[in-house]
A = this chain, B = another copy of it.
């Protein structure tokens, strides 16, 4: 006989910010977990029947869904702070591209593992990645115990990983097979951008995604120079160009979307395209400000991402939420847009929808996988509390997260990472950095 009240893990004594359809906030709340899944969410006095082998006391803090980083290049932690404050093309051509030429599968694994540590320690439980050697990123995520959507970046020139484009597609198909039933890893097809991918590549990628019901991820309309280039080549905007190829669809995640026309926005809406907003990277590279308040007004699904560490330079989604909310307000001259609840949705359930994972994560609801974080609110900067949601967006920091449960498994407790040795992972990345510095001593003086 199965006891319907049995659980493996009970998180108690906190304010539960569910991010469910009604944005319910439950004071004196608790969450019960069995195996990988949430089996109950409610007031603590409603969940007393649940007996669990492990009980985590949230100590009056906030219990909420883990954050979702909708767009990053995790392994770029190894280039964090290597080159800042430079014109975009100098940054790319003189610093990032040369450094990336020396990448190996091992270095990508090391960089991605360090990124996982940073993400878990700042409340992220799921990320969507685009880079080279993505099999190794998937392995790093699995080692860390994180949920991830990974896809090998595809473009027209030879890749340090797969060489010719044909092999790039074969590599992607290999990933699809390898991770078909993985509990944590989902594979995406990831052509880089309209300016680095010919029409044939984009259409082939789109077909591959549709055939396998995969997410299709692409950078779109990030910079003004991209807009000019695509206009010169095709007489269209990047979004218009993708539309002309039949690539716009509800399984497309368009990252950045900084420079959009009204027609572009109408196209995104019509095809239910998802958007990943990366405010800090767009600001730091001076790319521009994405019209997110307008996208939200139109009902377009928007997630939030950090982009890579070379253009941010951190992976803290609490920081990113604060930035997104404040940037949206000043950009539209309207303090009422990008309210805390809308921005918190972008980093949780909105991100899950953007990645095609809203059936399993992004909110605390019975039946979903247990991706849960706890924040300690006994801190001066979170005192007093009139509204937990306001604090999560405007006052909290990643370092307030004490506990992380991913897919039902306890991954961090009392800020101690349980899945792997951070110092060892950090040591490897420091070795890689030393090597980079040796090769370009002049860049390493502060």
Contact = CB atoms under 8 A, between A and B. Distances in A.
Contact of A378 (B78, B380, B426): B426
Interface in A105-145: 114-115, 117-118, 121-122
A269 interface: no
Interface residues of A: mostly helix, strand, loop or mixed?
helix
Interface string A406-446: 00000000000000001101100110110001000001111
A34 interface: no
Contact of A446 (B115, B314, B387): B387
Interface stretch (A155-163, A214-222, A248-256, A315-323): A315-323
A81 B384 CA distance: 8
B81 A390 contact: yes
A325 B389 contact: no
A101 interface: no
A270 interface: no
Given A81-B395, A323-B326, A381-B315, A446 B390 contact: yes
B84 A383 contact: no
A322 B81 CA distance: 13
Interface residues of A, number: 81
Query: Within the oligomer, what is the number of copies of this chain?
Result: 2
A49 interface: no
Given A394-B313, A395-B313, A381 B122 contact: yes
A384 to B, nearest CB: 3
Contact of A380 (B118, B283, B312, B380): B118
A426 B378 CA distance: 9
Contact of A340 (B84, B114, B288, B325): B84
Nearest to A119: B380
Contact of A314 (B286, B314, B334, B381): B381
Interface string A149-177: 00000000000000000000000000000
A330 interface: yes
A94 interface: no
Contact of A283 (B286, B330, B422): B330
Nearest to A432: B384
Interface in A236-253: none
Interface in A165-202: none
Given A336-B87, A386-B444, A81 B391 contact: yes
A327 B81 contact: no
A422 B380 CA distance: 8
Interface string A58-94: 0000000000000000000110111011111001000
Contacts of A51: none
A397 interface: yes
B380 A85 contact: no
Nearest to A284: B326
B284 A394 contact: yes
Given A25-B446, A288-B330, A399-B397, A85 B339 contact: yes
A332 interface: yes
A333 interface: yes
A271 interface: no
Contact of A332 (B115, B286, B429): B286
Given A319-B322, A387-B81, A336 B429 contact: no
Given A81-B387, A444-B386, A446-B388, A326 B397 contact: no
Given A444-B386, A446-B25, A286 B398 contact: no
A12 interface: no
A380 B86 contact: no
Contact of A335 (B85, B395, B425): B85
Contacts of A315: 381
A384 B326 contact: no
Contacts of A227: none
Nearest to A332: B286
A285 interface: yes
Contact of A316 (B325, B391, B397): B397
The 4 A-B residue pairs with the shortest CB-CB distance, nearest first, are: A384-B433, A283-B326, A85-B339, A399-B399
